[in-house]
Chains A and B, each alone.
Chain A
Amino acid sequence: MQTNPHVRVHDLSVSYGSTPALNRISVDIPEKQITAVIGPSGCGKSTLLRAMNRLLENSDGVSLSGSILIDNENIYDPGRDVTEIRKKMGLLSQKPYPLPMSIFENVAYGPRIHGMKKKNEMAETVRHYLTISGLWEEVKDRLHEPASRLSIGQQQRLCLARGLAVEPEIILADEPTSALDPKSSQKIEAEFKHLKNRYTIIIVTHILRQARRLADYVLFMYLGELVEHGPAAQIFENPQHEMTKEYIRGIIS
């Protein structure tokens, strides 16, 4: 199941002030598969993810070198429109942050700022993406209630619907189940499996079992280095690197 690379990270280094966070990462991330980024906390997993949609540059004192190519275009080329780049990627964070508006408006927010105006088209879009994220049945009668009234698991699925509504190609997920109960986590994981036919999914996780359940491709990172990467079967069954072996066996965590 060899596919084309969708995201090509080349020689990427990031540091916060004088503290290095990523050291010369180069990797190709396959299209329409689930790629899991694993590794102990503080190894740079989230930094890598945030570099991909250029959220990183909002933090103070960040310096970055190297390139990230998405659809063969470097997102760090000067003159690239950052909102266009971000529109290509949906982001799920650790704790869901719905926008301070109604359930409906949360999903409508993206399409609206990108120019959708017609009312019935909007209603259809909102219904469509809430259905995809598996939330429609639960919220169809209370679309105009504040999103903050949903349970945290529902909020995370709402954030998924909100992200999908801008029609991204890639879903970036930063430990998306870490704040959720087991049932809700299961739902999110099921969504991912379902969505990978259409989207390239990159998920940062520190839950090894989750990576085993979901991943087609795995990146193992340690202290800002990309130690090993490859198809999931290879990383989990036959890791080449000593450090990866220890991590997979649970000796380091």
Chain B
Amino acid sequence: MLRRLAISFAIVIAATGASARTRPHYGGTVHVEIAGDAWERPAGLARRLVYDGLTQMDASGALRPALALTWEQDNNFHRWQFRLRPGVRFQDGTAVTSVNIVSSLTASCSANCPWDAVKAVGPLVIFSNASPMPNLPALLASDQFLIALTATTEGRTPASAVGTGPYQVNGFSNGVLTLTANENCWSGRPFSDGIEIRVRRAVRDQWLDLGLARADVVEVPAEQLRQAQQQRLSVIQSPALVLLALQLSDTGVLGNVKVRSAIAAAIDRSALYNVIFQKQGEVTASLLPQKMSGYSFLFPTDRDVNKAHELRGGLAAGALTMSAEGEGAMQLAAQRIALNLHEAGFNVQMATPGAQHSDLVLRQFLVSGNDCGAAMERILWDAGLFAPVSEQAPEDLYKRERSILDNHRIVPLLDLPRGYAIGARMRDVHLRADGSPDLSAASLEDAR
């Protein structure tokens, strides 16, 4: 009998404990460390915590309402109207109105926007354009079009960044951005009371801090994912949603499409994949990953130096400059590409840091969501080559992408994942569709 009682007690205790672990607690401060800046686009961690967009993508990549509750197109995608979610306020208490939305969008995109005009009509925000905008709702979910308060009701410019997101800015000192929970967030109060984001911290130091429990969330660049796993860090990583691509200028000798084609043929993707990025993600020669488009394998990824020589045709290209966005592996990859191009007869020199213009730029493009057309349009927008992508059928998309890539202004190289290492006390940390950690839904194990 006693034995049965003891077993029953043990089961109850175990069940209670299990129940306690699964229920998140409010409170506590999450310590995050990153190598870059918290506000920089497209992956600034603070942006998604402080701001919301009119639309958003859930973790699966599906488009969801955010500040806009509904939206509908008119005139064959030439006009879109977004109806705002009622009762939403900015973190300083200012009501979110269509006027605020239009003001924010105008501030974030003053020229070469995907639309010709945006206006506020009552609770509606109306976009119009001469050409169709089939993917505007998905584009508005991107990082650039997050809504920020540009002017208070008194007409003053806010002292700090003010949005409608789950956290609001409390201050920035000694390289640490302090965010506190937005109690009146339209999507609900986040679990943790605050987040401290230490910026410009070397990855090596981030990992040390994680080991010493001085950080709860740290970055794991794609090229160090394997190492992090070897070190038995608790790593969460996204699918391969970051497109590593070389963007080529179309001026000077690069105005010749054959020269650009030669450059594309000269690059050894396997070395980038196998060594620099430590076999993370996948090699690609298409804008959209295989998993998303299904036709990526049709684009050859092999290097062909002879073809590169042939295409270059003895053209003395002169010295081309090359730069890379980001540090570490990005710079290394750029140097490797420069070496590849040197073998193909190109004289490529790395641009000095801070150089305004480079002939070749190694960049990362975010490929998020389930909509191929929207994702492609988003890449083109980020590359400054914006053109609406209205194709929906895979064969049409393939043709469209083929036509884009045949121009060789963008040379896709790799699809890379994003990764973070999580501390032992963090619970329910998931990655968003763009690969960033959704800290609003996360909680601390030891929070009281």
Q: Indicate, yes or no, whether A interacts with B.
A: no
Q: Give chain A's interface residues, CB within 8 Å of chain B.
A: none
Q: Give chain B's interface residues, CB within 8 Å of chain A.
A: none
